[in-house]
Structure 1
Amino acid sequence: MNGDVDAICFDLDETLCTYSQPGADVLDRAFDRAGVARLWVLEDYHDLYGDYLAESTDVEDLRRRCFADLAVEAGHDRETGRAVADEFAAVRDQDAVDLLPGAREAVEALSDRYRLGLVTNGAPGMQRTKLEAIGLADAFETAVYAGYDTPPKPAPEPFSAALDALGSTPDRAVHVGNSLSSDVAGARAAGLRSVWVPHEGRIPETPDPTPDHTFETVAALATPPW
């Protein structure tokens, strides 16, 4: 990495953290925590997901609406479904999220040299809960919750908002993420250099769009220059 870089932005999901439990297991735990027998399976939720997109304010609102209707179909009241949805969110974003190996070391090492920001697609409350769960709540000078604060990645606006807060410019910044379609494409659209860290090291021969740098793990970022 050239010495003219003064800011680095990170994606969150599958770049710094990952869900450690399958969704079906999370749902089973949610039913247990809510004190309710299993009334539906995860596939029922997935089948209905699209029906709630237009009327929901975020994924947590969508889940509460959907689970409420599923509870009614199972012969229970809507509040039962909402209670299960709330427990699902608590388990998913607090107990079932893990820091990826080397992520903390990379963030800490880079924070000594650069101003750091977070640019993540996702609801602010949900993403903040994940940051707290993995111990990175105070690691970034600014956080942009794309899709809520700005249009979602790969739009350039979330990157521009982060750089404005960091006092940097696209030609002096890098974005790190796992997604070619949102992170690499979005960084390119905003004029930043991109670092691609494919989840679980899956690297195609010809990634499209082409990132400026590719690493098999986020841990490799801890030892610049690169």
Structure 2
Amino acid sequence: MARFDAVVFDLDDTLCTQTQSGSEIYYGAFREAGIDSFGTPADLWGALVGSPDPVDDVGYLAAGFTTVAAQYGQTPIDAEALADGFLSVVDHSAVTFLPDAKHVLKTVSESFSIGLLTNGPYRRQAQKIAALNIESAFEAIVYAGDLPRQKPNREPFDRVLDTLGSTPSRTMYVGNSLRHDVAGAQGVGMTAVWYTPTGADPAPYEPEYIIESLAELLSVVSR
């Protein structure tokens, strides 16, 4: 008998990646806000602390723009206008499958129940799912950004397990984040598969499986 009944996937940087360039979004934010640009996209990415706040996108981005403005002597600055501009420029439907993702989803769904658990809210993530045309592939989709707590807290994991009707010990979770995906899945007793195309070292985390390509997942689920 197969060891697993269900496989749950993360979305961003596990199944898909954004095709819109960081430069287009960054400089577009200044254009939309009517502010002369300064700094670089890398400055903003470095200034953003932690993971995106699924509840307060504007506050999260404004804090980053405030930091960049200080670094370039551009204070005071309307950081909220830049954050609003950033969000208006982003096209959440501009995504594409990562290598082997589409094939792996189809193959895994032939033998297992599959679910999707993403930390983003519905308003953002549903656009990506629609663009990829994969909604029908999943028996359960949980948008943790719309819940009181996101990954790695156990609430979203419990939610997807309940919807799938699967137990933690019979469910595998596949994701690219050690903190959110691996730690969160293991925290509820699921088997964690860490997807790392760069072959990075997971220490101090200890995922049960490490794959450098999604195609490797097919051999993992068959064990």
What band does the TM-score fall into relative to the shorter chain? Answer: 0.7 to 0.9
> CA offset at residue 156 of structure 1?
1.5
> Higher mean Cα deviation, 21-30 or 113-122?
21-30
Amino acid at match of 2:140: T
Partners of 1:64 and 1:85 within 8 A in 2: no
Aligned to 1:8: 7
> TM (normalized to structure 1)?
0.75
Amino acid at match of 1:114: F
Q: Does 1:176 align with 2:177?
A: no
How far apart are the structure 2 equivalents of 1:150 and 1:211? 26
How far apart are the structure 2 equivalents of 1:3 and 1:18? 31
Aligned to 1:144: 142
Aligned to 2:211: 215
Aligned to 1:106: 104
Partners of 1:175 and 1:195 within 8 A in 2: yes
CA distance 1:35–1:171, shift in 2 (3 Å):
closer
> CA offset at residue 225 of structure 1?
1.3
Amino acid at match of 1:89: V
How far apart are the structure 2 equivalents of 1:35 and 1:213? 45
Aligned to 1:202: 199
> TM (normalized to structure 2)?
0.76
> CA offset at residue 30 of structure 1?
6.2
Aligned to 1:88: 89
SS in 2 for 1:176: strand
Aligned to 1:187: 185
Amino acid at match of 1:203: A
Aligned to 2:222: 225
Partners of 1:195 and 1:214 within 8 A in 2: yes
CA distance 1:208–1:147, shift in 2 (3 Å):
farther
Aligned residues with identical type, % of pairs: 32
Amino acid at match of 1:19: Q
SS in 2 for 1:15: coil
Partners of 2:117 and 2:143 within 8 A in 1: yes
How far apart are the structure 1 equivalents of 2:130 and 2:58? 18
Which of 126, 132, 148 does residue 124 from structure 2 map onto?
126
> CA offset at residue 105 of structure 1?
0.7
SS in 2 for 1:188: helix
> CA offset at residue 84 of structure 1?
3.4
Give aligned pairs, total: 213
